[in-house]
Amino acid sequence: MAAIKDTDFNFPGQTGVYHGKVRDVYFVNDKLIAVASDRISAFDHILPKPIPYKGQVLNQIASYFLNATRDICPNWLEATPDPNVSIGKKCEPIRVEMVIRGYLAGHSAREYKLGKRSLCGVALPEGMKENDKFPSPIITPAAKNLSGHDEDASREEILAQNIVTAAQYGLMEKYTYGLFARGTEMAAKQGLILVDTKYEFGLYNGEVILIDEIHTPDSSRYFYAEGYAERQVKAEPQKQLSKEFVREWLMANNFAGKDGQVMPLMPDEFVQTITDRYIELYERVTGHAFERTQTADVPARIQHNVENWLLEN
């Protein structure tokens, strides 16, 4: 199976391109063309091998949820002319990730084990164990530095940096709680628990709107609802659908993104495992069967589909 590691398109009217960790974003007039590659990142590093179908999974899950949440807040998406491509409004990104957590898992659990009882200015209850549910969801933002690294930040720190106004931040909070509630409800219908996720926002004609992907395995963590309570009582690891298993594999192979550590090379068997897990998540979270598109010449397919859309629009 072919996988898209890098892209180098030149669409009609293209004025620029930005290569992110996972997406390559092309600018055409007032539109943004986001191509979801098959790259995978962890600990702010891109792993050496791409994951077949990962880009299609991410793009289609994101479009599914963006279309299902338009009643909660406006978003950037206008079209998905190709399984790996989304086209929409070109916005000015707000340098804040609105991370929301319903459970003590991942980063918050690691911080909690270190004895910290406050995260991004939010008090954490005593007596919790990993994967316990919070009394109510908490927002633990991350400020996006120009270096590309994200850092935990409190509401007060973000406002002090003048990244957004108090009114804009308040709107982002409202949207974040609303989106998480909808995502939680949709996950429950599929036998899943939405554990934590992140939302990114931008400004379009001065209006705060939702940008980027939402509720994908790259931006979210899901537990299986069945057996959750029993596993918590027995202090067993939760069965989850997320990218956390990739991070765990890296840590088991002595890599956590720290200086001096060498990125391990993933064997082909593990790459296949990641593909299978991403497809499983798509089917579980959407309730739809995943249709594997042809991967013989994905760049040519993308070029054709995007050019056709630009001609018609």
The DSSP annotation for 235-275 comes to: TPPPPEEESHHHHHHHHHTT-SS-TTPPPPPPPHHHHHHHH
In a domain, 266, yes or no: no
In a domain, 271, yes or no: no
Alpha-carbon gap, residue 137 to 43, rounded angstroms: 24
User: Which uninterrupted H or E stretch holds 188?
Assistant: helix 166-189
Question: In terms of DSSP bridges, do strands 192-204 and 92-103 run parallel, antiparallel, or are they unpaired?
Answer: antiparallel
Backbone φ and ψ for 76, nearest 5 degrees, come out as: -80, -20
Give the CATH number for residue 157.
3.30.470.20
User: What is the span of the domain harbouring residue 156?
Assistant: 92-242
- Asked if residues 97 and 200 have their Cβ atoms less than 8 Å apart, the reply is yes
In a domain, 278, yes or no: no
Dihedral sign of CA atoms 227, 232, 234, 238 in order: positive
Largest CA distance in the chain: 59
In a domain, 171, yes or no: yes
pLDDT tens track, the chain, 313 positions: 678 999 999 999 999 999 988 999 999 988 999 999 999 998 888 999 999 999 999 999 999 999 999 999 999 999 999 999 999 999 999 999 999 999 999 999 999 999 999 999 999 999 999 999 999 999 999 998 655 567 899 999 999 999 999 999 999 999 999 999 999 999 999 999 999 999 999 999 999 999 999 998 778 999 999 999 999 999 999 998 878 889 899 999 999 989 999 999 999 999 999 999 889 889 999 999 999 987 678 899 999 999 999 999 9
pTM for this entry? 0.88
In what side-by-side order are the strands of the sheet with 23-28? 14-19, 23-28, 31-36, 85-89, 77-82
Q: Is 291 left (phi over 0), alpha (psi -120 to 50) or beta?
A: beta
In a domain, 177, yes or no: yes
In a domain, 203, yes or no: yes
In a domain, 254, yes or no: no
In a domain, 146, yes or no: yes
Query: For the chain, how many structural domains are there in total?
Result: 1
- Asked if residues 158 and 152 have their Cβ atoms less than 8 Å apart, the reply is no
Which pair of structure tokens corresponds to residue 83?
């399984």
Backbone φ and ψ for 39, nearest 5 degrees, come out as: -65, 155
Place of tokens 């072919």: 2
> Which residues does 136 contact at the CB level (< 8 Å), separation at least 6?
none
- Asked if residues 93 and 124 have their Cβ atoms less than 8 Å apart, the reply is no
What Rg, from alpha-carbon coordinates, does the chain have?
19
Place of tokens 């001609």: 311
Alpha-carbon gap, residue 4 to 305, rounded angstroms: 16
